[in-house]
Structure 1
């Protein structure tokens, strides 16, 4: 699931929590990608989404119980929210910067965390 975060349009804590709660009600394993808005083409009356706002949105998603939350469109500026970590032991499984994978210990392990043995949903 991807949510484009547009400043002044859908970036309140309440709205972001509502989205996260809905996703959790379907499955806490749904990956939620919060992505930065850039004022291009015909919608130029809004500011670009900041890295701080994206991190806040991602933290709200984790706080509501989502296990896989990612922040995007600002490579290298959103901290751990570019990576995949084990929801059981928090071990780093896939490290990314933007679309570049720097390290992947999950795919060779066929979807099992090598640190704790937790099964990670996905196609491996």
Structure 2
């Protein structure tokens, strides 16, 4: 696997994030780009971490949980990280299922209110 080295701007474009987001991820220690003066360069490792961060965000996982999860790999290795992921995924699945149920209820209620209002208008 060839080592890549993306600039700050290239990293923003690749992951479709704002410069502010990328700087924040660095600030909270999710990413540690190589620095050369004021320039930042993102390696294959940082791109892999960013992929995991973006995936976690897609599923609604909090940044602090993602940060702790990424640290597990550094401290304990892949198996421990995978185990932690299963726990994190189980917790998030419960959360998402609850949200889906709440959304379903809200949609039903809104449809009912809309139909009642439509009948009153007629």
For normalisation by structure 1, the TM-score amounts to: 0.28
Greater percentage in helix: 2
Work out which of the two has the higher radius of gyration on C-alpha atoms and give 1 or 2.
Answer: 2
Greater percentage in strand: 1
For normalisation by structure 2, the TM-score amounts to: 0.28
